[in-house]
Structure 1
Amino acid sequence: MTWDEKIKDFEIFLRFERNFSENTLDAYIRDIKKLKDYAEEDLENVGPDTIQYENLQEYIFNLSKKKFSERSQARWISSIKAFFKYLVEDEFRKDNPATLLEGPKLGLYLPDTLTLPDINKIISAIELDSDLGKRNQCIIEVLYGCGLRVSELIELKISNINFQEHYIKVLGKGNKTRFVPLADYTATLLLSYISEIRSKIKVGKRYEDTLFLNTRGTSMSRVIVFLIIKELTDKAGVSKKISPHTFRHSFATHLLQNGADLRYIQEMLGHSSITTTEIYTHLKTEELRDVILNYHPRNINIVQ
């Protein structure tokens, strides 16, 4: 069995038995293909059946010297461990060479968030005298107003928007469905976009129900959404490193700051574990720390 054959088997396993999302699946397969290239080029065609722990350790060590982030290194190891665990379960190997691999210790990751003035600046940078501008405004407002992942945004269906009850049905990671409340403001923008902007587009086959369309009448790509946000961010003069996910972080952070229960935020974000959502309590702690440092009389006296 070659690397290519086992990687294909692994991909099928992750897709149909583990129900991985496309993005996570792509990342895992990409990681294993890099290992395959290393094994074929640097280890003289060592196969997935004979590669050893020392080879994997050396591979990870070489990658770590290239200044990749600790989170990237941790994902490589996670991918490699999952691959060789699968090979053992599939009875392709009797031993697991990845068992002793250890990932880097990850510090607390606090995602960038936008203030409401930041968000308003970005939206103000949109040229609303064009159809594309109005579409882009709607995209930003849905990202921020509903806390969607970019993949969820571009796959959103018109039929999954309930304007009467004010919620949207979202198909998230692992094909898990959740219902996200729709604010009146966001609902009004969506209705306006659908009736006044989208209705002018010649919609391609199979995209009749897709909410956000490009100029060709087909679904938008993740890359296009990233580029739209980068262009608007630069134009608005907001210096933070911003992606579509930043609006999702901001959605959750602002809800927590205004008193929303963490369990409700977990439900709206579609997190399977409350632990993932708890990152936002750390953001709130950081904010409280800044308040104390800037406004507490004892600290002010020290500064003075």
Structure 2
Amino acid sequence: MKTPAAIQSFLYNRRSLNRRPRTIRWYEKNLNRFAAFYPNRLPTNPEAIEEFLARAVPDEKDETRHGYYRTLKALYRFTCKRHRSLNPMDLLDPPMRRKKVRPTLSSQEMNQLLQAPILRDRAALSLFIDNGARVGEVASLRKQNIFEDYIKVNGKSGEREIPISEETRRLLLSLASSNRTTDHVFIGQRGPLTTSGIYRLVQKYMRKANISGPKLGPHRIRHAFGKHYIKNGGDTRSLQKIMGHANITTTEIYVGLASEEIIAKHHQFTPLRSTHAAAQESFFDKDKAVKEAEEILAQKEANHGS
């Protein structure tokens, strides 16, 4: 089967299944690279696929290579099922993904962001910090989707509900009531704010707060929310629901982000500490130690005298 034909058939299938346009564009971009590498027949041996994964992606791009792997896995699963043929991807292991330290924010930095003087900007920043919402979810928020303790948003997997605090709800309602021209909550001079507009807004306040490092933007606040939620005692299952992760393994990343705090809590609460302290107290009881020392010295003197 020709590679372009296989890819086209796969993309038609994804569209018929109502996959999100962004996901289909991601598939298409990755598969166009694969088609340029193998423009004629679709490879049926794992070695050819391995060669593409090895040569088409720079060594330092772990996530990019893993993205190509996932895309090809979906393509071959569909194609081989349709044509009842053996799937060469079954013989390949996924590329290793080296763990990277994701930049987040400290409590002090998040507090600085909440000092934004403009109501609209403070409401957006509060929403990001309150529940780690995605930038697209914030941009598309409508007035009618603000409820007493949650909001309804259109996420990557469709409509979902995200809890909000009372403080965030008050800011959102104040902002919504100040605008009567559209049902969008976040608007600018030319209409509803786009995702890129909100992205620039967040970057502006991060720079004002002297927050440095890579990935200045809403996603960094999202990572910070996940980290601090776990740090403050939250569990991964509820965090998964709040953040809209399809897979719990994505959520478990935030347990790793809070590792420093977990280590500190371990040092504070390990049972060995209390057990060791009790043992030391028993072993080094001052009065008992002095008495035993005096008895030993007295015995030595008696032996020496005799």
- Same fold, TM-score > 0.5, yes or no: yes
Partner of 2:286: none
Instruction: Say which SS state the counterpart of residue 56 (structure 2) adopts.
Output: helix
State percent identity of aligned pairs.
Answer: 28
Unaligned runs of 5+ in 1: 40-44, 299-304
Once the two structures are superposed, residues 166-205 of structure 1 have per-residue CA deviations (whole angstroms, 9 ceiling, x without a partner) of: 2112332322x43222212111211221122x33xxx5xx
CA distance in structure 2 between the aligned counterparts of 1:6 and 1:211, rounded to whole angstroms:
43
1:118, distance to aligned residue in structure 2 (A) = 0.9
Given the superposition, is the C-alpha separation of residues 237 and 67 from structure 1 closer, same or farther in structure 2, using an over 3 Å criterion? farther
Worse-superposed segment, 134-143 or 73-82: 134-143
Q: Do 2:137 and 2:153's aligned partners in 1 also have CA atoms closer than 8 Å?
A: yes
RCO greater where, 1 or 2, for CA within 8 Å and sep 6 or more?
1
CA distance in 1 between counterparts of 2:188 and 2:11 reads 30
Which one-letter code corresponds to 2:61 in the other structure? S
Matching of residues 1-304 of structure 1 within 5 Å:
3-17=3-17, 20-39=19-38, 45-48=39-42, 52-64=45-57, 66-91=58-83, 94-124=85-115, 126=116, 128=117, 133-162=118-147, 165-175=148-158, 177-196=159-178, 198-199=179-180, 208-218=182-192, 220-241=193-214, 242-289=216-263
> Deviation string for 1:12-46 (max 9, x for gaps)?
323443x544433332221111112233xxxxx31
Aligned residues, how many? 269
Taking structure 1 as the reference length, the TM-score comes to: 0.75
Tell me, in whole angstroms, the C-alpha distance in 2 between the residues paired with 1:231 and 1:51: 50
Query: Cα RMSD between the aligned structures?
Result: 3.0
2:238 aligned partner, one-letter code: Y
Q: Which has the larger radius of gyration?
A: 2
> Could you give the per-residue CA deviations for residues 204-253 of structure 1, whole angstroms, max 9, x where no partner exists?
xxxx43332343224x3333333222232223211132331222222222
| Structure-2 residue corresponding to 1:301 | none
Tell me the amino acid that sits aligned with residue 226 of structure 1.
Y
Distance 1:141 1:76, change over 3 A: same
Comparing 249-258 and 138-147, the one that deviates more: 249-258
- Once residues 54 and 250 of structure 2 are traced to their aligned partners in structure 1, the CA distance between those partners, rounded to angstroms, is 28
Name the CA distance, whole Å, in 2 between partners of 1:149 and 1:118: 19
Q: Is the 8 A contact 1:178 1:268 kept in 2?
A: no
